[in-house]
Amino acid sequence: DSGVTQTPKHLITATGQRVTLRCSPRSGDLSVYWYQQSLDQGLQFLIQYYNGEERAKGNILERFSAQQFPDLHSELNLSSLELGDSALYFCASSVAGDAYEQYFGPGTRLTVT
């Protein structure tokens, strides 16, 4: 158990819908990272927040957005969902703002039908 929690564990929704994934980092960690992992694309870095501010941006679509709240938990919002958005979404956390040792949550499996 990494200490990073993610909810929900599984999510099934229809195309065009919007969902919110939630992540609570390990106690004391200030950085949260979001990743998308699909079979054909591997692990894709989406976005990083550090102490409430956006720190780094990867391949995040405009239909996706994220934020980190004052209590350091983070939410990833996915809207206008498409079939291709079906994937495992991981959240990771680290103490520092730069990508050193990251601890991954168990992931949220999103299925878009």
Partner 1 sequence: EDKVVQSPLSLVVHEGDTVTLNCSYEVTNFRSLLWYKQEKKAPTFLFMLTSSGIEKKSGRLSSILDKKELFSILNITATQTGDSAVYLCAVFLNAGNNRKLIWGLGTSLAVNP
The reply on whether position 12 binds partner 1 by CB under 8 A is no
The reply on whether position 34 binds partner 1 by CB under 8 A is no
Write down the least CB distance from residue 21 to partner 1, Å.
14
Site string for partner 1, 70-99 (x = CB under 8 A): --------------------x-x-----xx
Picking from 87, 84, 70, 112, the residue whose alpha carbon sits closest to that of residue 35 is 87
- Beta carbon nearer to partner 1, 64 or 90: 90
- Beta carbon nearer to partner 1, 8 or 58: 58
The reply on whether position 55 binds partner 1 by CB under 8 A is yes
CB-based contacts of 18-21 (< 8 A; 24+ apart in sequence): 18/77, 18/78, 18/79, 18/80, 18/81, 19/77, 19/78, 19/81, 19/110, 20/75, 20/76, 20/77, 20/78, 21/75, 21/76, 21/77, 21/78, 21/89, 21/91, 21/108, 21/110
- Beta carbon nearer to partner 1, 79 or 86: 86
Residues that bind partner 1 (CB under 8 A): 2, 33, 42-45, 48, 55-58, 90, 92, 98-107
